[in-house]
Amino acid sequence: MKLSLAGSRSALRRIFSDKLAARSFLLAASLPLLLLLLMAAALLFRTLPIFQFVSPWEFLTGDLWRPSQGEFGLSTFISGTLWVTLLALILAVPPCIFASIFLVEYARRGTLRGILPAIDLLAGIPSVVYGVWGLLVVVPLVPRLGQFLRGVFGDLPFLTSSNPTGFSILAGGIVLAVMISPIIVSITVEVLRTVPQGVREAALAVGATRWQAIKHAVLPNALPGIIAAAVMGLSRAFGETLAVMMVVGNTPAIPRSVFDPGYPLTALIANNYGEMMSIPRYDAALMGAALLLLVVVIIFNVLSAMVLARLGQEVSS
Amino acid sequence: MDSHISIKDLNVYYGANQALKSVDLEIPRNQITAIIGPSGCGKSTLLKTLNRFHDLVDNTRVEGEVKFDDIDIYAPDVDVTEVRTKIGLIAQRPYLLPMSIFDNVAFGLRIHDMTNRREVKGHVEKYLKLAGLWDEVKDRLTQPATSLSIGQQQRLCLARGLAVEPEVLLGDEPTSALDPISAKNIEGSLKELKSQYTIVIVTHVLRQARRLADYVVFMYLGELVEAGPASKVLSSPKDPRTKAYLSGEM
């Protein structure tokens, strides 16, 4: 058959519009990445002035934060963030793994189908709601827990504090643990479901119990994915601001105990952005804190995305 | 006939679907029984009732009696892990445990409380030899099992199944994922093993049934149509449906 339209005007127009469509979709798709780069560049640009004043090392490790006197050290805030995040992970990861194992390996399919949407719903609750819940429920409980622990065990490292209120990194950790649980459970459930049924059956067929099959056949296969799920939770916890800010006490001192108050980086930025323009270099210091958060969260996300992608490839091959 | 497994009035339901309809069958001891029939006829379903793999799937109901020697394996006081130890299964594809070659075989021994290292080692060697894999892997036992070829992997799965010393071996199309040479190796092993084990395989390859089977079971649409010595069923079937299947008309 002859290509009667070749070279004609309408053919050229169609080829052109096809190319145009492809280009514009590419542009739309690369927009998020572009925005991220722009954001990082802007933060970096606004941070740089602080380094004429303090060295990057001093900025990260100094423990004095007196903007009016020109002292900018982030270490108390970094340690506040690390404490709260670590605590949230310790509290959230083991129960989430057990819950996921139950849902995938033991529960009936119907149970899983009923519970997964509820878990996704939990992930969508605004963080201020979690914050209020923390304020009303968790904060009052924390001092009682502290008294109880002291009554039973006496003075223990990391568990003894002179803080009379419940505003503490423990309260922050508990609220955060609840907030990051949905993402950890939903990723872990997905990961466990990618383990082929034949692998379970291989263990069961030689007389293993369900738990033995899970422990020796399923979990080793799923481990990288479970770690990635925990890292996803970690980066979520790292960046969470409002709910933590409401319960953590916001006292700029390095915590010595889980019952001490703390002051995470995110809370620092949120509490002070209003006055940052009135003090020289204050804005640059806060931008530096934001840049630090951004970089750490990007690193965590990229790492876990890489692990999950590789896991997906292995399963499909 | 000396029957090792005896099935009476077996019905299996997947939800509302009835997959097996009132099956009665005697499986002879120390012979190879081949279950044949077109896709979806209930071959695999029948096989999976024998090691209680239907327990793993929601909404599956098994009714009837499956007696292994004199024990009803579906009786409430029977330990299912013991059933699966006595009645082993070789799957369609080699599914490896995420561990070394050695540990894949030793896994079953260890979960059944064999702790003496020398004993475990002896068993692993014995069953790798029985599965015809020992010479190929004896110098690389600590390597991950995934480093083996797929044919070797299936023989490793055979060794893993044999190591817990079952009395019955089930094979769910155990050669269908393999190349012809690996398939021949597995078939050779099964032939050698039948003096010590009762073997039941599902196969959709008629020629394989002819090569291997002493006893043949033909299934169609969830019903057991005909069962008997291979020479009889394969060469002079009684039922018209069996005839049609054997002549390739089905």
Let me know if residue B141 belongs to a domain.
no
Interface predicted TM-score (ipTM) of this complex, two decimals: 0.91
Average pLDDT over residues A73-87: 93
Let me know if residue B208 belongs to a domain.
yes
CA B236 to CA B208: how far, in whole Å?
18
Let me know if residue B155 belongs to a domain.
no
Structure tokens at A119: 């878990």
Let me know if residue B239 belongs to a domain.
yes
What integer pLDDT is reported at residue A127 of this predicted model?
92
The Cα of A178 is separated from the nearest Cα of chain B by a number of Å equal to 31
Share the mean pLDDT of chain B.
92
Q: What are phi and psi of A262, to 5 degrees?
A: -140, 180
Q: Residue B52 half-sphere exposure, CB side, CA atoms within 13 Å?
A: 25
Between chain A and chain B, the number of residue pairs with CB atoms below 8 A apart is 69
What integer pLDDT is reported at residue B17 of this predicted model?
92
CA B205 to CA B171: how far, in whole Å?
13
Q: How many separate domains does chain B show?
A: 1
Cβ-based contacts of A108 with chain B (< 8 Å): 58
User: pLDDT tens across A90-146, in order?
Assistant: 999 999 999 999 999 999 888 999 999 999 899 889 999 999 999 999 999 999 998
Let me know if residue B199 belongs to a domain.
yes
User: pLDDT tens across B85-127, in order?
Assistant: 999 999 999 999 999 999 999 999 999 988 899 999 999 999 9
User: pLDDT tens across A227-280, in order?
Assistant: 999 999 998 998 888 999 999 999 888 888 899 999 999 999 999 888 888 887
Residue A317 pLDDT class (50, 70, 90 cuts) = very low
Residue count of chain B, please give it.
250
- Which element (helix H / strand E) includes B151? helix B150-163
Taking CA atoms, what residue in A is nearest to B93? A198
CA B175 to CA A70: how far, in whole Å?
76
What integer pLDDT is reported at residue A156 of this predicted model?
78
Question: Are B30 and B196 spatial neighbours (Cβ–Cβ below 8 Å)?
Answer: yes
- Contact of A212 with chain B, judged by CB distance below 8 Å, is answered with yes
N- to C-terminal Cα separation, chain B: 31
Structure tokens at B40: 């979806």
| Inter-chain touch B91–A201, beta carbons under 8 Å | yes
Cβ-based contacts of B96 with chain A (< 8 Å): 199, 202
Cβ-based contacts of A216 with chain B (< 8 Å): 97, 99, 107, 111
Of B172, B215, B167, B163, nearest in space to B195 by CA = B167
Instruction: Provide the CATH number for the domain around residue B183.
Output: 3.40.50.300
Average pLDDT over residues A203-223: 94
Q: Of the candidates B53, B82, B98, which has its C-beta nearest A217's C-beta?
A: B98
CA A266 to CA A126: how far, in whole Å?
17
Rounded to the nearest 10°, the torsion over CA A288, A291, A292, A296 is 180
Residue predicted with more confidence, A175 or A5: A175
The Cα of B25 is separated from the nearest Cα of chain A by a number of Å equal to 22
Average pLDDT over residues B7-34: 94
| Inter-chain touch A205–B89, beta carbons under 8 Å | yes
Let me know if residue B223 belongs to a domain.
yes
Q: Residue A164 half-sphere exposure, CB side, CA atoms within 13 Å?
A: 0
Amino acid letter, residue A240: E
Cβ-based contacts of A220 with chain B (< 8 Å): 98-99
Give the other-Cβ count within 10 Å of A61's Cβ.
Answer: 12
Residue A1 pLDDT class (50, 70, 90 cuts) = low
Q: Of the candidates B58, B85, B99, which has its C-beta nearest A207's C-beta?
A: B85
Structure tokens at B180: 């012809």
Let me know if residue B136 belongs to a domain.
no
Average pLDDT over residues A162-188: 93
Unique residue bearing structure tokens 């422990």: A215
N- to C-terminal Cα separation, chain A: 42
Give the other-Cβ count within 10 Å of A281's Cβ.
Answer: 17
Radius of gyration of chain B (CA): 18
| Inter-chain touch B95–A201, beta carbons under 8 Å | yes
What's CA A257's distance to the chain center, in Å? 23
What integer pLDDT is reported at residue A3 of this predicted model?
66
Of B219, B246, B240, nearest in space to B7 by CA = B219
User: pLDDT tens across B162-201, in order?
Assistant: 999 999 999 999 998 888 888 898 899 899 999 999 999 9
Amino acid letter, residue B177: A
Q: Of the candidates B53, B95, B164, which has its C-beta nearest A207's C-beta?
A: B164
Pick one of 1.20.59.10, 3.40.50.10070, 1.10.10.10, 1.10.3720.10 as the CATH number of A72-311.
1.10.3720.10
Which domain range does residue B44 map to? 3-97+165-246
Structure tokens at A10: 């309408």
Question: Which of A206, A210, A215 to substitute to test the interface with B, most B CBs within 10 Å?
Answer: A206
State the DSSP string of chain A.
Answer: ---TTTTSHHHHHHHHHHHHHHHHHHHHHHHHHHHHHHHHHHHHHHHGGGGGTS-HHHHHH---EEGGGTEE--HHHHHHHHHHHHHHHHHHHHHHHHHHHIIIIIS-HHHHHHHHHHHHHHHTS-HHHHHHHIIIIIHHHHHHHHHHHHHHH-S-TBT-----SS-SHHHHHHHHHHHHHHHHHHHHHHHHHHS-HHHHHHHHTTT--HHHHIIIIIHHHHHHHHHHHHHHHHHHHHH--HHHHHHSB---S--SBTTS-B--HHHHHHHHTTTGGGSTTHHHHHHHHHHHHHHHHHHHHHHHHHHHHHHHHHHH-
Taking CA atoms, what residue in B is nearest to A197? B95
CA A221 to CA B146: how far, in whole Å?
13
Spatial CB neighbours of A47, under 8 Å, sequence gap ≥ 6: A284, A287, A288, A291
User: pLDDT tens across B194-235, in order?
Assistant: 999 999 999 988 999 999 999 999 999 999 999 999 999 999
CA A290 to CA A47: how far, in whole Å?
9
Of A74, A24, A37, nearest in space to A288 by CA = A74
Percent of chain A at pLDDT exceeding 90: 58
Amino acid letter, residue A181: S
Q: Of the candidates B82, B93, B99, which has its C-beta nearest A207's C-beta?
A: B82
Let me know if residue B201 belongs to a domain.
yes
Helix axes A169-194, A75-101, angle to 10 degrees: 40
Domain boundaries, chain A: 72-311
User: pLDDT tens across A49-69, in order?
Assistant: 988 888 889 899 888 888 888
- Which element (helix H / strand E) includes B226? strand B223-229
Amino acid letter, residue A13: R
Cβ-based contacts of A209 with chain B (< 8 Å): 81, 111
Residue A2 pLDDT class (50, 70, 90 cuts) = low
Cβ-based contacts of A110 with chain B (< 8 Å): 58
Cβ-based contacts of B84 with chain A (< 8 Å): 204-207
| Inter-chain touch A196–B95, beta carbons under 8 Å | yes
Helix axes A9-47, A282-316, angle to 10 degrees: 130
